[in-house]
């Protein structure tokens, strides 16, 4: 798991991991879809010796024009890099491409930024460990247009050695965060953050649907919803302190009894729209109230999620 990517057969590796000796690295990118292409573009523009490969032809052309080298096969690409970045569709495609090439990858550093589940990330880490490949898993918190710009971040877990050695390169894509040797942690954080995002999106859609029959456009509603929801994220730290402290009776919290969402549900129904997103939250509240915790703080709905019915 902690194979030194520069203590192997790489032709010009040196002890500080700087493959080219001038601050740049020899890096290969497998997968030039929307995301892989954006990642590779940032590397080429920063002056790294970048070799790229894609299953279907044609996707490397723009990168070659920028200065990348196109490899005819995935194996050629791997052999050209000390660091191999993989950005394919899913876990299955990663194994499909890498399994026959584990011998070529041995001794090199592998950073897989393909979206995978925590268990899939751990499975790939175990596979890499058996093959003598230093593996780091990455979860990209950005869309391709954001890569290299403000607001882009990438979460990593797995080999600390790989993360530390290549951090300056990884930072080209966005701010880099490392969560530890458990390769599944970055993916877990990634999916947990997406869980929060999708539920928030559904809440926005709920509100937009409620005002639509009154002639309010989604655009008008968004102009109100964005600053409101942004301001409400200021509550997260307070909720977190209560959850981590484990005492939902702390003074100053909005109680679950006070948080009944019946009026919102009734207003949605009166508008003739569905109420699924808000009904889901009401159910989380109801379970705690039914269990006798109505006087406790709203953060207690965490327990409804932590201990599913
Ligand atoms: P695309 O659909 O644009 O690209 C998919 C890439 O995977 C292509 O290069 C495709 O090759 C390749 N591929 C698919 N199946 C195989 C296979 N069996 N063998 C070899 N190559 C294969 O996806 P993205 O680039 O957008 O996404 C790539 C990864 O990045 C995904 O895991 C995604 O979840 C993740 N990601 C993407 C984000 C985004 O906003 N786009 C955000 C965060 C993460 P070919 O061209 O030949 O089809």
Within this chain, do residues 46 and 140 fall inside the same structural domain, yes or no? yes
Q: Scanning the structure block, which residue is given the tokens 């509100």?
A: 207
Choose which residue among 87, 96, 148 to substitute to test ligand 1 binding: the one with the highest number of ligand atoms within 8 A of its C-beta.
Answer: 87
Query: Which regions of the chain are under pLDDT 70?
Result: 1-18
- Looking up residue 138, the CATH number of its domain turns out to be 3.40.50.720
Ligand 1 center from residue 201 Cα (angstroms) = 24
- Ligand 1 center to 198 CA (angstroms): 21
Residues having CB closer than 6 A to ligand 1 are 31-36, 54-56, 59, 87-90, 93, 96-97, 114-115, 140, 143-144
C-alpha gyration radius of the chain: 24
Given 183, 216, 243, the domain boundary residue is 183
pLDDT of residue 251: 87
Residue to probe by mutation, ligand 1, list 75, 88, 146, most atoms within 8 Å of CB: 88
Q: Whose CA is nearest to atom 16 of ligand 1?
A: 93
Q: What is the DSSP string of 169-201?
A: HHTTTSEEEE--S-THHHHHHHHHHHHHHHHHH
Q: Tell me if 2 is assigned to some domain.
A: no
Answer yes or no: do 200 and 165 share one domain.
no
pLDDT at 21: 76
Q: What is the pLDDT of residue 11?
A: 34
Specify whether 158 is located in the same domain as 205: no
**Ligand 1 nearest atom to the CA of residue 113, by list position:** 30
CB of 201 closer than 8 Å to CB of 263: no
Q: Which domain holds residue 275?
A: 189-306
Contact 147, 39 (CB under 8 A): yes
Number of folded domains in the chain?
Answer: 2
Which residue's CA is minimally distant from atom 33 of ligand 1? 115
300 in the same domain as 193: yes
Residue nearest to atom 44 of ligand 1 (CA): 140
What 3-state class would DSSP assign to 45? helix
pLDDT 10s digits, 224-278: 999 999 999 999 999 999 999 999 998 889 999 999 999 999 999 999 999 999 9
CA atoms of 167 and 178, how far apart (whole Å)? 10
Task: Tell whether 194 and 274 lie within a shared domain.
Answer: yes
């Amino acid at each position: 798991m902690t194979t030194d990517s520069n203590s192997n057969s790489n032709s010009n590796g040196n002890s500080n991991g700087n493959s080219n000796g001038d601050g740049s690295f020899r890096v290969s990118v497998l997968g030039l879809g929307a995301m892989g292409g954006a990642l590779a573009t940032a590397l080429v523009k920063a002056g790294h010796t970048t070799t790229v490969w894609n299953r279907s032809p044609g996707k490397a052309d723009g990168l070659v024009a920028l200065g990348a080298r196109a490899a005819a096969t995935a194996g050629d690409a791997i052999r050209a890099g000390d660091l191999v970045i993989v950005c394919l569709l899913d876990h299955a495609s990663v194994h499909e491409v890498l399994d026959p090439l584990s011998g070529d990858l041995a001794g090199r550093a592998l950073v897989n930024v393909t979206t995978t589940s925590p268990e899939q990330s751990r499975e790939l880490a175990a596979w890499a460990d058996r093959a003598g490949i230093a593996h780091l898993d990455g979860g990209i918190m950005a869309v391709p247009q954001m890569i290299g710009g403000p607001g882009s971040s990438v979460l990593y877990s797995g080999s600390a050695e790989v993360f530390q050695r290549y951090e300056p390169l990884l930072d080209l894509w966005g701010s880099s965060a490392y969560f530890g040797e458990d390769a599944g942690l970055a993916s877990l954080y990634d999916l947990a953050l997406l869980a929060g995002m999708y539920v928030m999106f559904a809440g926005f859609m709920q509100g937009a649907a409620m005002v639509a029959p009154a002639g309010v456009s989604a655009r008008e509603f968004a102009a109100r919803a964005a600053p409101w929801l942004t301001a409400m994220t200021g509550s997260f730290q307070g909720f977190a302190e209560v959850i981590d402290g484990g005492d939902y009776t702390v003074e100053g919290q909005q109680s679950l009894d006070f948080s009944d969402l019946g009026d919102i549900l009734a207003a949605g129904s009166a508008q003739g729209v569905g109420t699924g997103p808000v009904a889901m939250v009401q159910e989380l509240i109801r379970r705690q109230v039914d269990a006798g915790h109505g006087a406790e703080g709203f953060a207690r709905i965490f327990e409804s999620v932590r201990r599913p019915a």
